[in-house]
Amino acid sequence: MDVSGDAGSTGEIPGILHLDMDAFFASIEVRDDSRLQGLPVVVGGAGARGVVAAASYPARTRGIRSAMPMASARRLAPDLVIVPPRIDLYRQISARVMELLGDVVADVEQISVDEAFLDVRGARRLFGPPEQIAELLRRRIREELGLPSSVGGSVSRAVAKIASARAKPDGMLIVPAARTAEFLAPLSVSVISGVGPRAQDALARIGVRTIGQLREIPRSTLTRALGPRAPEIAALADGSDRTGLGRRTRDKSLGTERTWDEDLTDPAEVRRCITQMADDVARQLRRGGFVTRTVVLKLRAPDGATITRSSTLDQPTSSGERLREQVVSLWERERSAMRRVRLAGVRATHLEPASGTPVQSELNARAAGWQDLEAAMDRALERFGTRSLGRGSTLSAVPDGTQRSPASPTSGPGTGPTGQPGPVGPHTTDRDGR
């Protein structure tokens, strides 16, 4: 079916574009090392429990997909090239891509590291119809950054996203308004963003596999199968979805987690790791100019069973000491039940901008002390990298007095602008008091 081209009888302009970088991480690695050209390349962890974060197109033709366990990928391609991720570099390039988009189109909504929606209806006078704008953007990204991208266009963002996926690699597909239904009908419901394995199962049970079939189903049946999300998905299926671009929303949570190749069995070791994670999260908060009110500890047992335990402070904070206290007290409640730990993580939620948070009036001397010290450490870390500093004994708030190993190399030099250390509330306590 040729869906690109004529404007369609409704006359509505397919002015919502979705731009998606092709195999983003893998494309960057291939660009930077010409020997990788044409080879099955994946970016990801090479360890026993590693998974594929991104796969080059030669790797994809062998059946390799992102999120696949690395062991399976190796079986599919014994000559697989595994490249460790360079997240900071990807982030820098991502920022550059978004800048390029912003130079052409005023209304850009970044939705992940490698994709964005653009509303180009206001840019037509200057740059022409959506097709022309899409080609301009793709050409600039290729010329300036040496990277391939794909663009989908439609009257709705959901359909634009589906179109960009079908334009890959290195292509463009604009769906005219009048041909939206025709375009969607044969596609699997799984292409809809928000329809994952569970929703697919639920739909399959009522005999629905394609978007065309979805459109024929009575609304009441759909609601029984999908629950409250039914109207949204139905609107997409019949082409009436007109969700506009949202303004980029502020970060809502931030955290770090780690899966070990071999399960941790020593509670002291777990505690050491999560206190280090708490420090890392606190540093990210300060760098981003945030404070948090709720700290979440996540633990996964060897059988995959996952629990989360959270604790809400009565004053927001970005202090590593506060976060460590919370996380350790949450761990103390669970350690007897969790004998072996496959994964542990620390996350801060209910983020607020640090500047908008009232500083507590009575800073005691010790609190002011650690606040200054943590800010000084942040500055040193920004300049010299994480390995340059371990926490000294003056700040050893780890209750069991365990020696802390040097911090993990999660934030190398040049990871971002120095953040303003935010005001912190030093008198926060664990609300549930355990």
| Residues labelled catalytic | 115
Dist CA 362 CA 164 (whole Å)? 55
Cβ atoms of residues 173 and 3 within 8 Å: yes
Q: Determine the size of the site formed for DNA (CB under 7 A).
A: 59
**Segment contacting DNA by CB under 7 A, of 143-151, 173-181, 337-345, 415-423:** 337-345
- Taking CB under 7 A as the criterion, the residue among 84, 186, 194, 399 binding DNA is 194
- Taking CB under 7 A as the criterion, the residue among 31, 209, 309, 404 binding DNA is 309
Find out whether the peptide bond into 169 is cis, omega within 30 degrees of 0: yes
Under rule CB under 7 A, residue 279 binds DNA: no
Helices marked H in 146-228 — which ranges? 157-167, 180-184, 197-205, 211-216, 219-226
To the nearest 10°, report the CA torsion of 64, 69, 72, 74. Answer: 80
Under rule CB under 7 A, residue 197 binds DNA: yes
For the record, the structure tokens of 269 come out as 């070791």
Q: What angle do CA 134, 138, 141 make, to 5 degrees?
A: 140
Burial state string for 98-118 with b = 16 or more CB within 10 A and e = fewer than 16: eebbeebbebbbbbebbbbbb
DSSP string across 192-204: STT--HHHHHHHH
Dist CA 87 CA 273 (whole Å)? 21
Instruction: Report in angstroms how near the CB of residue 111 gets to DNA at its nearest.
Output: 7
Under rule CB under 7 A, residue 199 binds DNA: yes
Under rule CB under 7 A, residue 67 binds DNA: yes
CB atoms inside a 10 Å sphere around CB 433:
7
Q: Report the residue number, 410 or 415, with the smaller CB distance to DNA.
A: 410
Q: Report the residue number, 74 or 96, with the smaller CB distance to DNA.
A: 74
Instruction: Report in angstroms how near the CB of residue 53 gets to DNA at its nearest.
Output: 4
Instruction: Report in angstroms how near the CB of residue 299 gets to DNA at its nearest.
Output: 9
Dist CA 400 CA 414 (whole Å)? 34
Instruction: Report in angstroms how near the CB of residue 294 gets to DNA at its nearest.
Output: 5
CA dihedral over 281, 285, 286, 292, signed as positive or negative: negative
Under rule CB under 7 A, residue 114 binds DNA: yes
Instruction: Report in angstroms how near the CB of residue 428 gets to DNA at its nearest.
Output: 12
Under rule CB under 7 A, residue 74 binds DNA: yes
- Taking CB under 7 A as the criterion, the residue among 138, 157, 161, 283 binding DNA is 161
**Segment contacting DNA by CB under 7 A, of 55-63, 66-74, 173-181, 364-372:** 66-74
What are the residues binding DNA (CB under 7 A)? 45, 48-51, 53, 66-67, 69, 71-72, 74, 111-115, 161, 192-200, 227-228, 249, 251-259, 284, 293-294, 304, 306-312, 342-343, 345, 347, 349-350, 410, 431-432
